[in-house]
Amino acid sequence: MNNKVLKLIMEGEQLSTEQMARILELTPAEVEAQLAQLKDEKILLGWRPVLNPSFDEETRVRAVIELKVSPDVSGGFDRVAERISQFDQVESCYLMSGAYDLLVIVNADNLYKVANFVHNRLARIAGVLSTGTHFMLRAYKESGFAIAAPEKPERPAVSQ
């Protein structure tokens, strides 16, 4: 598939239909048609800005949760992963190779809500054998964008 609109979206920031049309030398109607096709074919799932994680670091917590799972008899790992993916707290869910089966990234208001989610939701799902939770402390790069280090307050001079 040679979709110019998708290539443009993947290479840059979100542009208006008119801006894309000018860049690609297409009509706005042609751009709209390609966008509609991408959505219909479930290639373009949505638009998402990339925010600096420190923007809301005092109010939000992100965690990575490793899950060891016994596959469902009829649906394998897919059925368990689909169930986990339905929770609002779940940002991403991946089938993995290696020491654990699923990797789940969650967002919550605080550490306690992540712990509660793991204890009361994830750990109680049939087939979940164990969990390992890791809290994200600081981002250095997010979705391909480098994150600038926060400003450090000046230290007072040390006198002798």
Listing DSSP states for 80-128 in one string gives HHHHHHTSTTEEEEEE--SS-SEEEEEEESSHHHHHHHHHHTGGGSTTE
Eight-class DSSP state of 36 = H
Name the nearest CA neighbour of 61 among 144, 150, 153, 135: 135
Q: What is the pLDDT of residue 1?
A: 47
Q: Rounded CA gap, 69 and 125, in Å? A: 10
Q: Rounded CA gap, 147 and 152, in Å? A: 15
Residues of the chain short of pLDDT 50, as ranges, are 1
Span 98-133, pLDDT tens digits: 999 999 999 898 899 999 999 999 999 999 999 999
Q: What is the pLDDT of residue 85?
A: 95
Exposure string of 94-130, with b = 16+ CB inside 10 Å and e = fewer, is eeeeeebbbebebbbeeeeebeebbeebbeeeebbee
